[in-house]
Amino acid sequence: MIGGLKLKSEALRDKQKQLIHRLFLHILEFMLVVSVFNIIGNVLYGFPKEINIKWIIFIGVILATYYFTKERLVMSWKFIFFAFAIFVMMPFSFIDSGGSVNNTIGYLFIIIICVSFFFWGWQRYFLVISTVIIFNLLLMIETNMPEVIKVYSDETQLLDRMVQISLLLILAFLFLKTFSDAYLKDKKRLDEIVHFDSLTGLHNRRSFDEIVGEMIKSMNPEHDFLVFIDIDHFKQINDSKGHHYGDLMIQSTAKLLDEIFGERDVVARWGGDEFAVLFHGEEKELIDKLNEIINVNKVALSCGYTQISNEISAEILLQRADKALYKSKEKGRNQWNKSSE
């Protein structure tokens, strides 16, 4: 079981790396679209032609980065790309596009979000601090050397702002949506690792204990039962026929119990070849199900059950069900018994 959890954890880490890789490529693709839109917009709005030089260079950097990282996420190229955006694109865009009245601040937020997601350690702090320093330097230049900042008409700035802010909002939405969707998927996988058995897909012991504790508080004692079920002579079967056959037997037993007990009941792999069930219903119905279980010819099963009481702790209830199970084993196995306590 430990090996199964380890493999699931490794697979989860691999999927997280793949997600980061795909997300970075999507960022490059979208920035390529933004660059092309900016070139077209600059021409339509009457901006000077030389203002497009930075966007053409940026397109070249995007294509080079995409080429060298499309197969795998190369950290050095990723770092170069964001360093170029911070130290080259941001200053030129700020100065050429009208200073703080334009849309550079929006791009700063996108850069900070991306850096926080794609980097860690010294690279993350270096890029974030650099972004803050560069922006403050640009504000100082705008205040003390206003002649450096190019000035455009309010109408031109309005049109440019409408297009660029729309693009930035779409970019932020796509980035956060991808991250949110991935987070929910990963959280679901982690919940499965923590709460479900990797071999059978049933609740594991930890999850079952939590459910028992919660259900004792709210159950109707007259119609709730705790059941333990064990595969008879499992060790001998496992030793003689091999662990693979033993795993198949555990899986088939899990499937059988899942089919016999309804969706209202909770079936768990308690550990090894032992299973536990929280049954909600009449005792006669439970006995019918237990008889059905022990009459299956494929595998011999011993069962023990006890009635749940709100006045008894989960630990004592588990002990009672366990005693009833071993009473079945002492009496010859492949039968059920009820705890008399």
pLDDT tens digit sequence for 266-289: 999 988 899 999 998 888 999 999
pLDDT band for 7, please (50, 70, 90 cuts). very low
Answer whether 314's CB lies under 8 Å from 212's CB.
Answer: yes
CA angle at 117 for the pair 112 and 121, rounded to the nearest 5°: 90
**Distances 210 to 34, 207, 213, 226 between C-alpha atoms, Å:** 51, 5, 5, 14
Contact 202, 267 (CB under 8 A): yes
The confidence band for 220, taking pLDDT boundaries of 50, 70 and 90, is: low
**DSSP letter at 103?**
S
The region, left, alpha or beta by phi > 0 then psi within -120 to 50, assigned to residue 272 is: left
Query: Does the pTM exceed 0.85?
Result: no
**pLDDT at residue 173, as a whole number:** 84
At residue 4, does pLDDT exceed 60? no
CB atoms within 10 A of CB 125: 12
Tell whether the model's pLDDT for residue 206 goes beyond 90.
no
**Residue 221 pLDDT level (bands cut at 50, 70, 90):** low
Residue 134 C-alpha from the chain's centroid: 35
Task: Please count the other Cβ atoms lying within 10 Å of the Cβ belonging to residue 220.
Answer: 9
- pLDDT tens digit string along 95-150? 887 787 777 778 888 888 888 888 888 999 999 999 999 999 999 999 999 888 88
Query: Would you say the C-alpha torsion 22, 24, 30, 35 has a positive or negative sign?
Result: negative
